[in-house]
């Protein structure tokens, strides 16, 4: 496995270089802003999902008459 891993040709572009090239497409001035904006978007989506599931659970309990 080591021989196979070490005998691979070097990558032409790194992930960092790709992020730098794609930053303008994300409408960001720099790479850090683009990454933080993407992370915040995913974080907000997760929070919305949690709140929606809680509301669905409460609605289900109220419809079944388990909560006064």
In tens digits, what is the pLDDT along the chain, a chain of 68 residues? 888 888 887 777 787 888 888 888 888 888 888 888 888 888 899 999 999 999 999 998 888 876 55
The Cα 17–Cα 32 span in angstroms is 13
Taking only the tens place, the pLDDT of each residue in 7-26 is 887 777 787 888 888 888 88
pTM comes to: 0.51
List, in order, residues 6 or more apart from 30 with CB less than 8 Å away.
23
pLDDT at 40: 85
Cα–Cα distance measured from residue 66 to residue 63, given in angstroms and rounded to the nearest whole number:
8
């Amino acid at each position: 496995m080591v021989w196979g891993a070490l005998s691979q040709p070097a990558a032409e572009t790194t992930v960092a270089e790709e992020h730098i090239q794609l930053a303008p497409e994300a409408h960001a001035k720099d790479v850090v802003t683009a990454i933080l904006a993407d992370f915040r978007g995913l974080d907000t989506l997760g929070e919305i999902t949690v709140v929606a599931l809680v509301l669905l659970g409460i609605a289900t309990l109220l419809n079944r008459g388990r909560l006064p």
